[in-house]
Amino acid sequence: MSRYVASRVAQAFGVVLGVIVLTFVIARLIPGDPAVAYAGPRASAEELAAVREQFGLDQPLWQQFVTYITGIVHGDLGISLHTKQPVTSDLIQVMPTTLVLVGIALVFAALIGIPLGLAAARSQGTLGDLAAKVISILMVSMPVFWLAILLQIVFFSRLGWLPVAGQYDTALDSTSPLYSVIGVPVVDALLTGNWPVFASAATHLVLPVIAIAAYPIGAVAMVTRGALLENLGDEHIRMVRALGFSELSVFGRFALRPALNPIVSLIALVFAYALTNSFIVESVFNWPGLGSYAVKAIQTLDIPAILGVTLVVALLYVLLNLIVDLVQAIIDPRVRA
Amino acid sequence: MRTVQRLVAVIAAASLLAACSGKAPDSKPAPTNATFTYINNLDVMTSWDPATSYSNEGIATNNLYEQLTRSDPKTNKVEPLLATKWVASPDGLTWTFTLRDKVKFTTGNPMDAAAVKAALDRTIELAGGGAYIWDPVKTITAKDPATLVFDLKYAAPLDLIASSAYAAFIYDTKAVTGDLAKWFEAGHAAGTGAYVVDSWKKGTENELTLKANKDYWGGWSGVHYQSVVFKVVQQETTAVQMLQSGQGSFMPAVSSTVFASLKGAKGVTTEEAPSFQNMLAMLNTASGPLADVNVRKAVAEAIDYDGIITTVQGGMVKGTGVVPPGLLGYTTEVQPTTNAADATKLLTAAGYGPGGKKLSLVLTYAAGDPVQETVVTVMKANLASVGVDLQGKALAWETQWDLGKSTDASKHQDIFLFYWYPDYADPYSWFINLFRSATPPYFNLSYWDDKAADTTIDGLQAVTATDRPKAEQQYVELQKAISDQAVTAVLGVINYQRALASTVQGYVDNPSYGNVVFVYQLTPTA
């Protein structure tokens, strides 16, 4: 097991190093003068020279790479051209919001997708199976930006049931001021027992979570159904049926466990998908997370911020895949071999 | 008794009828604690220092700070603000401003001549942002607490300069004893404006909240907004829903299709007004095929200007000369004309077209701008109809500019497409930046080199300060020369399309302060 872990960690490290090199090369290949992007189009020649010196842009390329790597090791991802703040501190500020949003969406995806897939497998060939498949395909097919706006129009504009955007009703700031713990209102409110804000934040979570969770729900349901149906033909299933176990036990205990392998792998894949979908969802619902930050960075051609986001997303993805691989190795000893 | 009873009954019935039949009492009472919510699509505060700020934050800083004067689009003049009157010497080299009495900064310190001098001296010394506007100034003297004297190196319209949306704010340099710049960047302000900072939550939806400055010199009689919230909403559809539901008061820029759908919508008022920003196609007069003036004229005449305006669906209005409407020198004597037949003749005479050489031109423009994208598409079709192959290259601004101002002429584009707008309500910046010859080129991206024009441009500020009618004539002559030589094609003037909640009254668009809403001047209604 330890050899397996070491090899996976080494692979992950290699991928991360590759991403770092690639992001540096891309940043230098993009034409244009970052000093102008920082100082503005009407900056004088002296101002531009000062900016170049400040950011080491006048150094040879190899020296810039060494500075870049050293910076990353020390957590320095440069200065955002838009916010004029260190990219690292910007990312630290926005990451928790996105992780909470995507995390809750994935939990919902598992809680809804797995039972949906299980129900479809149990009622294979029936109308129930067909309905589950149609729902899954619909959820996978709907473009997230379209779904997000549709949810707003239906549940806010037409029905008035849910808020249009934001993390909580800021009018509560005067009556129930929120103490910030991690900077995510729903979590901060829960941790500090601020129930009015928690209720408001939970309500504000509904639409963005649905928008992000839609694709994962559909994907998880379809993979669960497929994996279960594959396992149902196995000998051990025939045996437990012969021993008189209920169908619920057959599906839930004996067929589901071996089916978890592909489901767990899938969740790692849909995490990356959900993270990139959050770019759009956060923009639509005004959540100040990594997605909003990335969209603003793209709109303002903020190269350091774009690279910072790219690196962080890559790191998250590599880390999650590493965790998934290790979990799979624990669940299924065949993986370790 | 019966008669009295009948009379009472009649009176009661009449009263009841009157109460039921008459109009409902006139509108609800005006709100006493109204909040104005400005919906912006990007972060508001990127810089807090009033001396060097030069970006989006103008929409907020113009409510926190004030200038000596303010440009008024209704009168087309410069109006008093922190200065009540001013006088220029006949040669335009000395300007004397009388300051408004009994005005204090929000720090409590008085806004007197010494304080104003200190603020402007600091702005000039820091030389950041738009501080170049003070280039004509030699010295500033606080003659007495109410009098400020500017001595200039050369004559310039200082009243206009002092009204600039950037780099002309008057602020308290004694707000702190330590590092003033750091104090500002921590989210503080020290102005004389009608509002003060209540909270700044960087990166959040309600990024900036201002509250009424209770000691504001303009007073608070009547009904005013008591607080201003700057809300960051990236997605237009979300912003529109907020506006319609009453969660927002103002959207500064609405796309043409959404603008059309909001006209007449319940709870929303739409406003459109031409800005001082125009879109220019700078034609390369120095190298390549367009160095031939007849080829430039052909290209200029091939463009369907009306077609461009129609295609952008209200996003632009038709321009005339280089100077947009509302500024000194605006003229209708110069009109862009479309004449494909004449364009073809000119091209043929120059050796292009059927039987001649093939003409291929490179046009650079800003990537990610849908309006420019649309314009380039139209121009491509227009030029194709006269046998010219136009290659549009969408580039990041820095790249477009890098190539344009390169000292290697072979890297230069044939047509440089971009916007220009002034820092204050004066056309001078077009001519000094875009048409004055410069080596290496800065913003003169037609590379136009005309000594007579240079001489005129160099004297424009002095003439504007001393003889405005003459300045107007010179601006018109310059525009005629630019048009005669087909140096640039004015593709249109950006049309502001805005949406407001119908509870907002008193809004007047002021193109001198792009996208700024002077909230104090508005009246909230229920």
- Burial pattern B350-371, b for ≥16 Cβ within 10 A else e, equals bebbeeeeebebbbbbbeebeb
pLDDT in tens, A1-14: 777 778 878 888 88
Angle between helices A290-299 and A256-285 (to 10 degrees): 50
* B46 → closest Cβ in A47, A82, A165: A82
Confidence check: pLDDT of B341 > 90: yes
B244/A84 CB distance under 8 A = no
* A296 → closest Cβ in B43, B245, B368: B43
B368–A contact, CB cutoff 8 A: yes
In a domain, A213, yes or no: yes
Mean pLDDT in residue range B419-424: 90
In a domain, B8, yes or no: no
In a domain, A80, yes or no: no
In a domain, A97, yes or no: yes
A83/B46 CB distance under 8 A = yes
Which residue on chain B is closest to A33 by alpha carbon?
A: B398
**Please, which pLDDT band fits residue B12 given cuts at 50, 70 and 90?**
very low
The number of distinct structural domains making up chain B is: 2
Which of B205, B230, B277, B423 should one mutate to test binding to chain A, selecting the residue with the greatest count of A CBs within 10 A?
B205
In a domain, B201, yes or no: yes
CB-defined contacts A:B, below 8 A: 95
Judge if B229 and B113 occupy the same domain. Answer: yes
pLDDT along chain A (337 residues), means of 10: 79 84 76 64 68 77 83 86 86 92 93 90 87 91 94 95 93 88 93 96 96 94 88 76 78 73 81 89 92 85 85 86 79 64
* B205 → closest Cβ in A93, A152, A288: A288
Which residue on chain A is closest to B404 by alpha carbon?
A: A32
Judge if B409 and B436 occupy the same domain. Answer: yes
Confidence check: pLDDT of B27 > 70: no
Residues of chain B with Cβ-Cβ distance to A303 below 8 Å are none
In a domain, A100, yes or no: yes
In a domain, B4, yes or no: no
In a domain, A262, yes or no: yes
A164/B402 CB distance under 8 A = no
- CA-based torsion, B247, B252, B253, B254: positive or negative: positive
Judge if B461 and B509 occupy the same domain. Answer: no
Mean pLDDT in residue range B391-399: 86
Judge if B473 and B507 occupy the same domain. Answer: no
On whether the CB atoms of residues B308 and B491 are closer than 8 A, the answer is yes
Judge if B281 and B183 occupy the same domain. Answer: no
In a domain, B256, yes or no: no
Q: Which CATH number fits the domain that encloses residue B330?
A: 3.10.105.10
pTM: 0.82
B203/A82 CB distance under 8 A = no
Confidence check: pLDDT of B228 > 90: yes
Which of A286, A290, A306 should one mutate to test binding to chain B, selecting the residue with the greatest count of B CBs within 10 A?
A286
How many Cβ atoms are within 10 Å of B153's Cβ, its own excluded? 11
Rounded Cα distance, B78 and B114, in Å: 23
Q: Supply the range of the domain harboring residue A195.
A: 92-290
A80–B contact, CB cutoff 8 A: no
* DSSP secondary structure letter of residue A253: I
Instruction: Answer left, alpha or beta for residue B8, where phi above 0 means left and psi between -120 and 50 means alpha.
Output: alpha
**Which DSSP string do the residues of B377-418 spell out, in sequence order?**
HHHHHHHHTTTEEEEEEEE-HHHHHHHHT-S-GGG--SEEEE
B206/A170 CB distance under 8 A = yes
In a domain, A68, yes or no: no
B397/A41 CB distance under 8 A = yes
Judge if B510 and B491 occupy the same domain. Answer: no
**Please, which pLDDT band fits residue B10 given cuts at 50, 70 and 90?**
very low
CA proximity to B61, closest of B33, B38, B79? B38
Q: Supply the range of the domain harboring residue B384.
A: 274-495
Which residue on chain B is closest to A297 by alpha carbon?
A: B42
pLDDT number for residue A332: 66
Mean pLDDT in residue range B433-443: 89
A286/B205 CB distance under 8 A = yes
Max distance between CA atoms of chain B, in angstroms, equals 113
**With 0-12 CB in 10 A as exposed, 13-18 as middle and 19+ as buried, what is A249?**
middle
B242/A164 CB distance under 8 A = yes
Confidence check: pLDDT of B212 > 90: yes
Mean pLDDT in residue range B107-129: 96
In a domain, B264, yes or no: no
In a domain, B255, yes or no: no
Shortest distance between the Cα of B266 and any Cα of chain A, in A, equals 13
A293–B contact, CB cutoff 8 A: yes
* B398 → closest Cβ in A32, A83, A94: A32
Which residue on chain B is closest to A156 by alpha carbon?
A: B241
Judge if B294 and B176 occupy the same domain. Answer: no
Give this complex's ipTM: 0.78
Judge if B43 and B191 occupy the same domain. Answer: yes
pLDDT number for residue B173: 98
Q: B73: cis peptide before it, omega within 30°?
A: no
pLDDT number for residue A302: 82
Rounded Cα distance, A251 and A229, in Å: 10
Residues of chain B with Cβ-Cβ distance to A157 below 8 Å are 241, 244-245
Strand, coil or helix: what is B371? helix
Mean pLDDT in residue range B305-328: 93
Mean pLDDT in residue range B32-39: 91
Shortest distance between the Cα of A122 and any Cα of chain B, in A, equals 42
In a domain, B346, yes or no: yes
pLDDT number for residue B14: 42
The number of distinct structural domains making up chain A is: 1
Strand B523-524 to B69-72 pairing: unpaired
Q: Which CATH number fits the domain that encloses residue B172?
A: 3.40.190.10
Specify the amino acid at residue B161: I
In this predicted model, which residue has the larger pLDDT, B20 or B85? Answer: B85
A48–B contact, CB cutoff 8 A: no
A82–B contact, CB cutoff 8 A: yes
Contacting residues for B517 by C-beta, under 8 A, at least 6 apart: B36, B38, B59, B63, B250, B252, B507
Mean pLDDT in residue range B255-260: 90
A123–B contact, CB cutoff 8 A: no
**What is the residue-averaged pLDDT of chain B?**
91
Which of A164, A168, A306 should one mutate to test binding to chain B, selecting the residue with the greatest count of B CBs within 10 A?
A164
Contacting residues for A212 by C-beta, under 8 A, at least 6 apart: A101, A102, A105, A144, A274, A277, A278, A281
On whether the CB atoms of residues A224 and A259 are closer than 8 A, the answer is yes
B242/A283 CB distance under 8 A = no
pLDDT number for residue A148: 96
Q: Which CATH number fits the domain that encloses residue A219?
A: 1.10.3720.10
A170–B contact, CB cutoff 8 A: yes
